Amino acid sequence: MQNYFDVLIIGAGPAGLSMAKGLSQLNLKVLIVEKNSKESIENPVPDGRDIALTHLSKNILSELGAWEKFNQEDISEINEAKVFNGESSYFLGFSTKIRDRLAYIISNHHIRKAAYDTVKDDSNITIITDSVVDNFALNDDRVEAKISNGTEVVCKLLIAADTRFSETRKKVGISASMKDFGKSMLVCQMSHDLPHNNVANECFLYGNTLAVLPLNGNRSSVILTAKPAEIKGVQALPKKQFNEYIQNLFQHRYGKMILDSERFTYPLVAVYAHNFTAKRFALIGDAAVGMHPVTAHGFNFGLKAQHSLIHEIKRALNRKGDIASETVLRNYQKNHSK
């Protein structure tokens, strides 16, 4: 028995869930297939990543109903940014002139949770977890897919949101450029004696980079980028030595700093798909462009791009046209390439 949907999305990360909600608001029927467990998307665990969201991203998340899901204490603000070079006390500064803040910082697991909470009770959206799409066919008039749990699906459009290492992208035959920067990142949260005054700091330290982003209270998100061997050594430091290491690296600008979270590491690898569309198919999120895995550049860029895809689909619906037509996908490709 075949099950009919308007859109099939592979991947229930923030990109896939946000896309599904936007399509549901157009009264389209959406199926999301996620390889991980239901528990993992219902209650995502902290992964060390704190995301700086632009004003546009906030507006898009508000339209999707996700922003209101955040607890106020989970949102911090960046009102000023400073860039330091080496050990110099001089810096390049950016402050709020037109707006009252530069960006908002929210932990990645809170974003994932809010995105899920917007779709969990949506009658237009069905989620299948612990499953993968075994195979699919992109036909002229429809997409046919078979899911590992035995479900057979027919839809108009297939969307891949299955990470920067997308298996779906490979199956469709879309190549991608991958850039391994030969570095890794360590991320954590630290408390400190002195206030940060909602200032984001980035320090370029002769091959290494230290970013210190303001969280609520006297707490900051710390991101250290260095060669993998150095990151491995820093991660292995006892807590007291780690605290002293970061304090010294940051030149004691915040006084005493204390680790108050787990330390996470990520390889610095970027991915850029050579095409974002194929017949009745689109890439979104990191599957299309996988940028810096810790900061917000990729999430903000991807959210803006998929918002443009929703806009093109809405235009097609208003014309009573095909939501996966060449025109829709060509315009999305053009907008995402800007």
**Tens digit of pLDDT for each residue in 83-105?**
888 565 544 444 555 457 889 99
Lowest mean pLDDT among 58-67, 215-224, 291-300: 291-300
Q: Specify the pLDDT at position 85.
A: 82
Q: Specify the pLDDT at position 338.
A: 72
What mean pLDDT, rounded, does the chain reach?
A: 94
User: d(Cα 79, Cα 94) in Å, to the nearest integer?
Assistant: 9
Per-position DSSP letters for 144-176, written without gaps between them: EEEETTS-EEEESEEEE-S-TT-HHHHHHT--E
Q: What is the architecture of the domain spanning 72-107+180-268?
A: 2-Layer Sandwich (3.30)
65: tokens are 């109903």
Residues 6+ apart with CB under 8 A from 97: none
Pairing type for strands 257-259 and 176-192 reads antiparallel
Q: Specify the pLDDT at position 101.
A: 83
Q: How far is CA 183 from CA 29, 96, 232, in A?
A: 42, 32, 11
Q: How far is CA 33 from CA 12, 27, 158, 248, in A?
A: 7, 19, 11, 46
Domain with CATH 3.30.9.10 in the chain: 72-107+180-268
Q: Specify the pLDDT at position 26.
A: 99
Q: Specify the pLDDT at position 28.
A: 99
- Give yes or no for a contact between 159 and 33, defined as CB atoms under 8 angstroms apart: no
For 107-147, the pLDDT digits (tens) are 999 999 999 999 999 999 999 999 999 999 999 999 999 99
Pairing type for strands 76-78 and 103-107 reads antiparallel
Q: Is the pLDDT of residue 42 over 60?
A: yes
Q: Specify the pLDDT at position 93.
A: 45
Q: What angle do CA 103, 287, 282 make, to 5 degrees?
A: 105
Name beta bridge partners: 83: 92, 202
Residues 6+ apart with CB under 8 A from 146: 133, 134, 135, 136, 152, 153
Q: Specify the pLDDT at position 92.
A: 46
122: tokens are 């949506």
DSSP 8-state symbol, 74: G
| φ and ψ at residue 76, rounded to 5 degrees | -115, 165
Pairing type for strands 219-226 and 277-278 reads unpaired
- Give yes or no for a contact between 258 and 191, defined as CB atoms under 8 angstroms apart: yes
Q: The CATH number of 2-48+108-177+270-336 is which of 3.50.50.60, 3.40.50.300, 1.10.3720.10, 3.40.50.720? A: 3.50.50.60
Matching residue, tokens 């009252």: 100
308: tokens are 């443009």
pTM, rounded to two decimals: 0.93
**Local confidence band at 295 (pLDDT 50, 70, 90 cut-offs):** low
Q: Is the pLDDT of residue 226 over 70?
A: yes
